[in-house]
Amino acid sequence: MDFEFSEDQKMLQTLVRDFATKELEPIAAQIDEEASYPAENLKKAAELGLFGIGFPEQYSGAGGGAIERAILNEELARVCASAAIIINGSIGLTGVPLYKYGNEEQRQRFVVPIAKGEKLGTFAITESGAGSDVAAMETTATRHKNGYILNGTKIFISQGSMADITLVFATVDKSLRHRGITCFIVETGTPGFSVGRLEHKMGIRGSPTAELIFEDCFVPAENRLGDEGQGLRIALSTLDACRPNAAATGLGIAQGAFDKALAYAQERKQFGQPIANFQAIQWMLADMATQIDAARLLIYRAAHRQDNGLPCIKESSMAKLFAAEAAMFVTTKAVQIHGGYGYIKDYPVERYFRDARVIGLFDGTDEMQRLTIARQLLRGS
């Protein structure tokens, strides 16, 4: 197996790393403190074509696939996880399913502006009583003339208050449970669609997490994505496809925290010498680096399989699970290496530690990843 990036992939990595270092790093702490993300920064990302990664040129995309999206996420999250969440949410959770399941008219209307970075997208499936148990969904879509009327509430929606295009999952018949779930494209400004409360979060504070409310919200039939009852299939395939990217966000957080810890250990002196000279610190750094490398190999293996049309449900879940736990391990050790300084906001490892915690919760919890892996093993996959 070839673990080296192609020349084009190396160029992408350099492009995103330069953007992150020059444009994100100076404002990352401010983004976290103010819990807001500057629109002008997203515009710069769009000008570089970062929103087009993973889409064909005919839809204003930059080409590439899962590996390129993982590179993008890792490099962004290495400096600012909020940027990775916002950009990946628009590309992977919205643009990719629109491209995969949409008709040509929907691709032109929605994929093109997402790929250009002109519009942001998001994905609304979670409800207060329907998290991992998606079939318990209460949001309804009632057929009405040439469309549907949506009623219900979604919670924990990343960049829900920023998005222009939202993929909303609702049931056309609750008695059908998962077979009634259908996907709809809802545009911001649609009557009956509003943003409720914004959550006050531990980390990834630059990406607003919102409640979305639908009150007699009319959606025309041409804004249904796929067929009635196909919603769960769309949702699950989208989450499967996005898991290497979500894992790459955790990897980027871990790598960023490690870089800061390594530099600090070489600079900080105690007992007349750098603390990096002490075996206790060296062992922590060794364990951190090993966790990062193992996560990276799992992630890019899953992305490689996805890009080559090979089964990757198990591999994607393994990558997501391991990267989430590695991110927590590495950021915890990074704080420990900094000592008391790691607990204050003057040093970024405190932010990395808070950002890392959500990786094991979104796009399927750690428990759901273990369940998926076990099921695949028992099926002989």
Distance CA 210, CA 167 (A): 14
Q: What does the DSSP assignment read for 45-86?
A: HHHTTGGGBTS-GGGT--B--HHHHHHHHHHHHTT-HHHHHH
Model pTM? 0.95
Show the tokens assigned to 163.
């998005």
Domains recognised in the chain with CATH numbers: 7-120 (1.10.540.10), 122-229 (2.40.110.10), 232-378 (1.20.140.10)
pLDDT level of residue 1 (50, 70, 90 thresholds)? low
Q: What is the pLDDT of residues 340-362, one digit of tens each?
A: 999 999 999 999 999 999 999 98
Task: Extract the tokens encoding 332.
Answer: 């915890």
> What would the pLDDT profile of 105-140 be if each residue is shown by its tens digit?
999 999 999 999 999 999 999 999 887 788 889 999
Complete DSSP assignment for 201-262 = -SS-TTS-EEEEEEEEEEEEGGGEESSTT-HHHHHHHHHHHHHHHHHHHHHHHHHHHHHHHH
pLDDT digits (tens, 9 = 90+) for 200-244: 999 999 999 999 999 999 999 999 999 999 999 999 999 988 999
7-58 pLDDT per residue, tens: 999 999 999 999 999 999 999 999 999 999 999 999 999 999 999 999 999 9
pLDDT band per the 50, 70, 90 thresholds, residue 2: low
Task: Report the C-alpha dihedral over residues 52, 53, 56, 59, rounded to 10 degrees.
Answer: -10
In this prediction, residue 364 carries a pLDDT of 87
How confident is the model over 138-189, as pLDDT tens digits? Answer: 999 999 999 999 999 999 999 999 999 999 999 999 889 889 999 999 999 9
CA dihedral 363→190→31→87, nearest 10 degrees, is: 50
Whether pLDDT at 72 is above 80: yes
pLDDT at 80: 97
For residue 232, with 0-12 CB atoms within 10 Å meaning exposed, 13-18 middle and 19 or more buried, which class applies? buried
The upper half-sphere exposure of residue 298, i.e. CA atoms within 13 Å in the direction of its Cβ, equals 27
pLDDT at 215: 98
What whole-number distance in Å separates Cα of residue 375 and Cα of residue 173?
A: 28
DSSP annotation of 95 reads: I
Render pLDDT for 290-337 as a digit per residue (tens, 0 to 9): 999 999 999 999 999 999 999 999 999 999 999 999 999 999 999 999
